[in-house]
Amino acid sequence: MKPNTHPKYRPVLFHDTSVDQYYVIGSTADTEEEKEYKGKTYPYISLDISSASHPFYTGKQRTSERAGRVAQFNKRFKSRRA
């Protein structure tokens, strides 16, 4: 194998900001930020969503306005169906 062709693989601290949960996972993600977690300093990446906060994994589905918009569209164009 050629030297210096692969990215550096190391533990990285990921922070899900929506539920304030931290994960230390091996990654090649590049970041300039560092943060101390449980006595060690890790490269740091903040996330907006992860498995701890995503509705699919938590079972907490959010309602959307789309159903109302679809109903309005169908009501408006109901008589035009062929």
Alpha carbon distance 62, 10 (integer Å)? 35
Q: pLDDT value at position 48?
A: 87
Mean pLDDT score of the chain: 83
Report the pLDDT value the prediction gives residue 82, as an integer from 0 to 100: 54
The Cα–Cα gap between 19 and 21 comes to 6
Domain regions of the chain by residue span: 10-77
* pLDDT of the residue at 56: 73
Strand arrangement of the beta sheet that strand 10-16 belongs to: 21-27, 10-16, 40-47, 34-37
Model pLDDT for residues 26-56, shown as the tens digit of each residue:
999 999 999 999 999 999 999 988 878 777 7
